[in-house]
Amino acid sequence: MLKPFVMHGVGKAVMYDFRTGREVLRILKHESATWTFSYEDVDVMGGDDLDIYETFETSRAQSVTFNETRFDVRQLEPVTGKRAVEQLNVPIVQLDEGFNIPDAPGPYTHTLAFATSAEDDTIRIRFGSDWEDMAPVPTNFSDAGNVAEDGTGATFALGDAIDIRITAVLTSGIESVATTVFTHTMVANGDLIVTVPETVLTTPTGMPAYDVNELEGFNIYIDVNAAGEALDNGATPVPAGTAYTLLDTGAAAIPDAVPTVSGQYTVSSGVITFAAADASKEALVDYIWRTSSTTPEATVVDILKNCLRNFVRCIWRVDFRAQDGSTKGMEVDIYKMKYTGDYTIELSRDAASTHSMEFKILDPERADKKLLSVKIVNLAEVTGCD
């Protein structure tokens, strides 16, 4: 039983919460596992001799390191102190979903891969040789309850004095302070046509220079008969040169008008419709979709700034065939340890990511003074092999 033997294999390890006994992590496919002792001594010297004649042990440190190439999100619990939890309705960012807009005669549509749970207001589309941003088709909206000369939904009339101010809104929340004369026309039926000028996309008066990718959209401010400025449209992203129609008839809004200009699109239930002018163009879409609201489909670890690493207990077990042909098992029972060092997730195209977890062995303050136990046991032969 106590004869020297050759060990091989790395076995498996299970970690439990030191306080509750709940299983925290199970490692089944080690690449390597290392148990390390280190000591610190103080040398004692006397007389004229150069050699020490005694040492005092001042400290002893033990650690265990597990290396594995399979990632388990539960590894983050002993590292961060935050438990991995299965959640419902988790927002997921879908990047660069690529496709070609159908060629003539259409329909010029694309159904998103996660259409049933895609959030329309998160969709961003790019297309063309330089991947410029596209813009949703502008929306026609009623003035009722929005823009009104007296704030009660009154309609426009041909004789009304109408002043218009359009501001650019950036993703940072900064809003243009430019006040420029914009094109507006009162037509026979009382509708007001507002055209967003190209200058809004460049550098409006009083605004710092910004990139078009920073543009959140526009706010349209309309003052009817000097009764006070009212805000409409709420920073809807639109391209320059787009006309808005403010209906005075109280008609319902038209949120999904048909795209007629190159670069415009509409979205409904995860189906994107493009203008015929963009037929056969290559497109990329970024958007957010959500996992099921009834079935857990995502495991999430939210790493908080105030979480502390937990103490864990570890059972490290390996079975192997000894030189005499018998099967033996070795178990290392580490009563208390805590994660130490760095944790790195490094991805490489041509190699598996290796996850190294190092734990410092601590004093569990047991009455029997044990830090850990190493156990060697003879195991029965595997049934059916003989």
Instruction: Output the pLDDT for position 150.
Output: 32
pLDDT above 70 covers what percent of the chain?
A: 67
Q: What sign does the dihedral 174-143-195-258 (CA atoms) show?
A: positive
Has residue 300 got a pLDDT over 80?
A: yes
Has residue 337 got a pLDDT over 80?
A: yes
What letter does residue 116 receive in the DSSP assignment? G
Distance, in Å, from the CA atom of 110 to the CA atom of 385, rounded to the nearest integer, reads 59
Count CB atoms within 10 A of the CB of residue 156. 23
Which band of pLDDT confidence, cut at 50, 70 and 90, is reported for residue 324?
confident
Instruction: Output the pLDDT for position 190.
Output: 46
User: Does residue 237 contact residue 217 with C-beta atoms inside 8 Å?
Assistant: yes
Instruction: Output the pLDDT for position 5.
Output: 81
Instruction: Please indicate whether residue 366 or residue 235 has the higher confidence score (pLDDT).
Output: 366
Which band of pLDDT confidence, cut at 50, 70 and 90, is reported for residue 63?
very high
* Long-range CB contacts for residues 224-228, cutoff 8 Å, separation at least 24: 224/147, 224/148, 224/149, 224/154, 224/156, 224/160, 224/161, 224/162, 225/149, 225/160, 225/161, 225/162, 226/161, 226/163, 227/149, 227/150, 227/151, 228/151
For the chain, report the end-to-end CA distance as a whole number of angstroms. 22
Instruction: Please indicate whether residue 21 or residue 139 has the higher confidence score (pLDDT).
Output: 21
| pLDDT averaged over every residue in the chain | 78
Has residue 179 got a pLDDT over 50?
A: no
The SS3 assignment for 112 reads coil
Which band of pLDDT confidence, cut at 50, 70 and 90, is reported for residue 85?
very high
Instruction: Output the pLDDT for position 137.
Output: 65
pLDDT above 90 covers what percent of the chain?
A: 52
Residue with tokens 């001042």: 58
Instruction: Please indicate whether residue 143 or residue 382 has the higher confidence score (pLDDT).
Output: 382
Distance, in Å, from the CA atom of 207 to the CA atom of 228, rounded to the nearest integer, reads 24
Digit-coded pLDDT (tens) for 23-35: 999 999 999 999 9
Instruction: Output the pLDDT for position 380.
Output: 86
